[in-house]
Amino acid sequence: MNTYISYFPHGLADHIPTILKQDCSIVEISAISDQYIIYTSKDPISKIQQLDIFTTSFLVIKFLGEQSRHRGHDLFEWSLTNIGKMGSKINSVPELTGKSLRVVYIPADKASPKNLYKNEIDQICSVLQSRFNIKSNVSQPDFQLTVVEKPNYGFIGIKITKESVDDFQPNGLRKEIARLMIYLSNPSPDDVFLDPFCGTGTIPLLRSQLAPYSKIIAADASTSRVNKELFKIPNCEVRETPIEKFEAGKMVPNKIVTDPPWGNIQRKVDPEGLMKSLLNIPHSKNSTFVILTPMEDLVTKSYALNALPGYSFEKFPIIVSGYQVYCYRISQSVK
């Protein structure tokens, strides 16, 4: 078992424990804040690396809380005093055996000198190589041993988050936000899942990987940016159609999860008309809408004007790239 600290966008804390327990085997959650969670899991590192809800994750070797006033100094002192424990821990992880590392210090104060603790870092690298055959590679390491200092905590950990080299395109919706939106839709095997503003296809692509479904429909006025992987997914239909002209066909959507344009729209669109079209898109009974947008007043107004009786309306504030936005869940239950 290993202990991890993982970071997520501000505003997701209430949902993270449930999503985490759905996605991996959790033994214990020891702490959670508005942007990070500390937990123990018996799953391999490769499983933790695949968790879409997190922006960055570390395998924790040593954690210091508020009781330590000089966390940077104390962490390096602990490292040099317990270099045997640290080396044994690294070599006990199969994914790290025979790999090279780089040691990085991230201070709480960004104005701290760049070479602060350089001697300690050199000592750590030297001992790890001589005693544990863990080679140092500053430019292209296989993994990163990170000493992180925050205002109220600090830790030594191995950064396990991989760079974005997967099926998700860099200009698409962030995976951790898409994961939250799919979670809020309550996925089920009978889902006819629709994203009418699919863009690069992050939401439908991630939905196909998370749970069984009946059908996925990825639609947009232009599908030129759609990830080609979507065309390979079973029971996934990619449609080039504006939302005003969307027709359900034989399989009517019951889950509509989407990130509509935020204003940077190539073609001329009436925002109120766009939201009206979204809420009035063909859908079945017991349907759920999950909408991500910064246009709080527009969604509230459109819902009041266009919602059908029996719907519930929920708002979840989150931070995306420094902007306050809202994830809305609008659902209808069969009576």
**What whole-number distance in Å separates Cα of residue 139 and Cα of residue 161?**
17
DSSP state of 96: G
Tens digit of pLDDT at every position of the chain (335 positions): 899 999 998 889 999 999 999 999 999 999 999 999 999 999 999 899 989 899 999 999 999 987 767 788 999 999 999 999 999 999 888 888 888 999 999 998 888 887 889 999 999 999 999 999 999 999 999 999 999 999 889 999 999 986 544 444 555 688 899 999 999 999 999 999 999 999 999 999 999 999 999 999 999 999 888 989 999 999 999 999 999 999 988 899 999 999 988 755 445 567 777 888 888 899 998 899 999 988 877 777 777 666 566 778 888 998 877 788 899 999 875 44
The pLDDT assigned to 208 comes to: 96
Assigned fold of 175-332: Rossmann fold (3.40.50)
Assigned fold of 2-159: VC0802-like (3.30.2130)
CA dihedral 264, 268, 270, 276 (to 10 degrees): -90
Kindly list the domain boundaries of the chain, sorted by start residue. Answer: 2-159, 175-332
Tokens of 193: 């899942």
The pLDDT assigned to 267 comes to: 52
The pLDDT assigned to 286 comes to: 85
Give percent helix, percent strand, percent coil of the chain, each to the nearest 5: 30, 30, 45
- Using DSSP's 3-state secondary structure scheme, residue 269 falls into coil
The pLDDT assigned to 307 comes to: 59
Tokens of 323: 């902007």
**What whole-number distance in Å separates Cα of residue 17 and Cα of residue 26?**
9
The pLDDT assigned to 8 comes to: 93
Question: Contact 20/55 with Cβ under 8 angstroms?
Answer: no
**What whole-number distance in Å separates Cα of residue 193 and Cα of residue 251?**
10
The pLDDT assigned to 263 comes to: 59
Question: Contact 30/39 with Cβ under 8 angstroms?
Answer: yes
Q: In what order do the strands lie in the sheet with 288-293?
A: 236-240, 215-220, 192-195, 255-258, 288-293, 323-332, 311-320
The pLDDT assigned to 165 comes to: 42
The pLDDT assigned to 253 comes to: 96
pTM of the predicted structure, to 2 decimals = 0.84
CA 6 vs CA 41, 47, 196, 208, 328: distances in Å: 12, 13, 31, 24, 25
Question: Contact 217/282 with Cβ under 8 angstroms?
Answer: no
Instruction: Give ∠ CA 37-39-41 in degrees, rounded to 5.
Output: 140
The pLDDT assigned to 167 comes to: 45
**What whole-number distance in Å separates Cα of residue 103 and Cα of residue 124?**
8
Q: How far apart are the first and last CA of the chain?
A: 46
DSSP state of 124: H
Strand 236-240 and strand 288-293: the pairing is: unpaired
The pLDDT assigned to 266 comes to: 47
The pLDDT assigned to 111 comes to: 82
Strand 2-7 and strand 36-41: the pairing is: antiparallel
